[in-house]
Amino acid sequence: MERPSHVTSCLVVVYMYLQVCSFTRTDNEEIIFLERGHRGIVPCPPITSRKYTPGDIDAMYWYYGTTSSTALLISYFRGRVAPQNGIPHGIYDIDSEFSLVIENVTAKDEGIYHFMLKPRLQMVEEGQVEVCDKVSSRQRYPTVIECDPGSSDADHCEIRVDQATPEHNLTCVVDQVKPAVELFWIRPFLGGFTVLNASTSVKPVSLPANTGSSLRNHTYSTSASIQVNDVDDDAVYQCEAMGVAVGSGSSHMTVHFTKTVPTTASYETQPFSNPGDTISWPDRVDIHTSESTLKPPSLIVPLFGMCVTLLLLVVWIAFATTRIMCRRGSVYLNEEVFAMYFKSA
């Protein structure tokens, strides 16, 4: 079966990139995505751009939301880092690159972070960084609901379909991620692909507070469904997922079809060679017999005949033996009678 070539995969990525870019921001501000439940780094653009070196900086201030004094999170002044506004130690930090360190990212950390940077012998420089929390997919590949659970292997799966059914539905899902991913259904062929018209939906996920699933709360589940009527052995369909939550590039699941042909069950009766044989029926149901529960019918008649014959033989031998003994007894009796007669004479 033909598999999509590397050229096809590249074309798919380019197509989806153009689709996603049509929904993203057009300004030059970079959005930083930080994974929930992990340590997050908010970079300082003047340092990462090599406009200044860390040795040029005398003071650094990080704010959340605004640059008012009450919004100050943490400061650096001549080698000393100190949390501000009563924030305990261990929540924020400033590293050697003057980036803001968030020790444990939560959904509340999403927003705009402002910084004030004071280079030595220069004016204070201000800027901001937009931060969004990210919840990555728990599975590396999208899930196709109709796939057989035991047939999934890495990035491809199998669907068993009835040959008599003309149409089949395919639904691809990526659950509980943030931001929501883009899903596409494509039909690969040699040297290219066709983007199929899919019905997509994005639903917000809200979990109860007492379930202990705060890392998955306020996320999104995306689904894309298509209806297909070509389920030949060479028919291949791919669900492509693209977005921050599935990592760099894209993630895809390839679907193959296997047709099931209905059969008429037939049964044959065969003699048993040994007790405990297994009867294999066409519907794949195994019936195990044992000597105590099932006697082979083909052995009953011969055994019964042998028993009757043996019994008759024993009776005949007994009868013949008795008759011979009786004859010998009569001969002995006659000899004694004759002897007594001649003796008296």
Residue 241: φ, ψ to 5°: -115, 135
Q: Which of 79, 103, 134 is the last residue of a domain?
A: 134
* pLDDT value for 13: 43
Same domain for 177 and 256, yes or no, is yes
Looking at the domain assignment, is residue 22 inside a domain?
Answer: no
Looking at the domain assignment, is residue 291 inside a domain?
Answer: no
Same domain for 253 and 150, yes or no, is yes
Same domain for 238 and 159, yes or no, is yes
State mean pLDDT over 64-82.
96
Same domain for 147 and 246, yes or no, is yes
Range with the largest mean pLDDT of 202-211, 236-245, 306-315: 236-245
Looking at the domain assignment, is residue 268 inside a domain?
Answer: no
Encode pLDDT of 332-342 as tens digits.
434 453 445 44
Same domain for 147 and 130, yes or no, is no
Looking at the domain assignment, is residue 330 inside a domain?
Answer: yes
* pLDDT value for 92: 98
Same domain for 163 and 209, yes or no, is yes
Same domain for 179 and 98, yes or no, is no
Same domain for 205 and 246, yes or no, is yes
For the chain, what is the domain count? Answer: 3
Q: Which of 134, 160, 187 is the last residue of a domain?
A: 134
b/e map 242-272, b = 16+ CB within 10 Å? bbbbbeeebbbbbbbbeeeeeeeeeeeeeee
State mean pLDDT over 321-332.
55
Least confident of 147-156, 210-219, 295-304: 295-304
Encode pLDDT of 121-178 as tens digits.
999 999 999 999 999 999 889 999 988 776 656 788 988 887 777 788 999 999 999 9
Range with the largest mean pLDDT of 97-101, 233-237, 279-283, 287-291: 97-101
Same domain for 180 and 127, yes or no, is no
**Residue among 244, 252, 296 at smallest CA distance from 8:** 252
* pLDDT value for 270: 56
- State yes or no: pLDDT of 329 exceeds 60: no
* pLDDT value for 265: 54
- State yes or no: pLDDT of 296 exceeds 70: no
Same domain for 156 and 116, yes or no, is no
What SS3 state is found at 206? Answer: coil
Place of tokens 């919004």: 71
Looking at the domain assignment, is residue 6 inside a domain?
Answer: no
Looking at the domain assignment, is residue 209 inside a domain?
Answer: yes
Per-residue confidence at 264, pLDDT binned at 50, 70, 90?
low
Looking at the domain assignment, is residue 72 inside a domain?
Answer: yes
* pLDDT value for 203: 96
DSSP string, 39-103: -EEE--HHHHTTSS-GGGEEEEEEEESS-SGGGEEEEEETTEEEE-TTPPTTSEEE-TT--EEES
- Which range of residues forms the domain containing residue 47? 37-134
Least confident of 9-13, 72-76, 144-148, 304-308: 9-13
- State yes or no: pLDDT of 238 exceeds 50: yes
Same domain for 152 and 78, yes or no, is no
Looking at the domain assignment, is residue 272 inside a domain?
Answer: no
Residue 152 is part of a domain; what is its CATH number?
2.60.40.10
State mean pLDDT over 221-242.
88
Q: Which of 260, 289, 315 is the last residue of a domain?
A: 260
Percent of all residues in the chain with a pLDDT value above 70, rounded to a whole number: 67
Least confident of 61-75, 141-155, 162-176, 263-277: 263-277
Same domain for 107 and 193, yes or no, is no
